Amino acid sequence: MGVLMDTIGSFAHHGVKRFIMVNYHGGNEQTFQLAIQKARSKYKVMIAAPSGPKNTELAKEIQDRMARYLEVHSGPRETSFALHYFPELCEMWRAEDWENGLVLSKELQEFMDPDREDYELVSQIFYASFGPMTEDITRNGQYASSDPRKGNAEEGAAMMKEAVDFMVDFIELWKSLPLPPAYRD
């Protein structure tokens, strides 16, 4: 958090009033949001942490997979990004004998169904209930019950294009608005 605060503070000192922060690691989310809240107040700057898109067909498919298969780490989504950006580092032969490594209880795994009528409720219980350490969740380090071999570079490219297009639209719209009085010197 200190690095974020120092960086924002330095730019704010030099007159920057609008910041966009991009977080691609869910484990950093609480710290990220706390830094945003503190920096907005301390430095009187506007900070956005856009996330999206969520309404495209691909985004909906990814969100469904993330909910249904706990597709957080090393599932098809992350594998697709890796195959798109640095395929030479992807040793896909290591996944030839892939097996689901989740060690979650059957009861918790039943909560990983976004088609459930009570999904809003059970998904929150799910995240409150699984263990705090990696070994409490997975025996092989993969936070996903989905097969990473289903990842592909084309999906990685499509996801990134949608994310970049969304970010460009966000920036264009945001910069068209005048600076609110609370942020003026």
Number of domains the chain is built from:
2
- What's the pLDDT score for residue 24? 84
Q: How many CB atoms lie within 10 A of CB 158?
A: 17
Same-domain pairing of 31 and 65:
no
| Helix (H), strand (E) at residue 107 | helix 106-110
pLDDT reported for residue 27: 82
Question: Could you give the C-alpha distances from 102 to 56, 70, 127, 136, 147, in angstroms and in order?
Answer: 29, 9, 14, 9, 12
Q: What is the mean pLDDT of residues 14-19?
A: 98
Confidence of residue 112 (pLDDT cuts 50, 70, 90): very high
State the pTM of this model: 0.88
Q: Angle 62-64-66 (CA atoms, 0-180°, nearest 5)? A: 70
* Pair 40, 46: CB distance under 8 Å: yes
pLDDT tens for 40-83 read: 999 999 999 999 999 999 999 999 999 999 998 999 999 999 99
Claim to verify: residue 32 and residue 63 sit in the same structural domain: no
Q: Where residue 25 falls among pLDDT bands split at 50, 70, 90?
A: confident
- Domain span at residue 104 reads 57-162
Assigned token pair, 107: 């009861």
43 lies in the same domain as 105: no
pLDDT of residue 130: 84
Domain match, 42 and 112 both: no
CA distance 18 to 132: 35
Same domain, 63 and 143: yes
138 and 92 housed in the same domain: yes
Q: Looking at the structure, do residues 24 and 45 belong to the same domain, yes or no? A: yes
Q: What is the mean pLDDT of the chain?
A: 95
The answer on 123 and 149 residing in a single domain is yes
| Mean pLDDT across 122-148 | 93
Task: Give residue 26's pLDDT band: very low, low, confident or very high (50, 70, 90).
Answer: confident
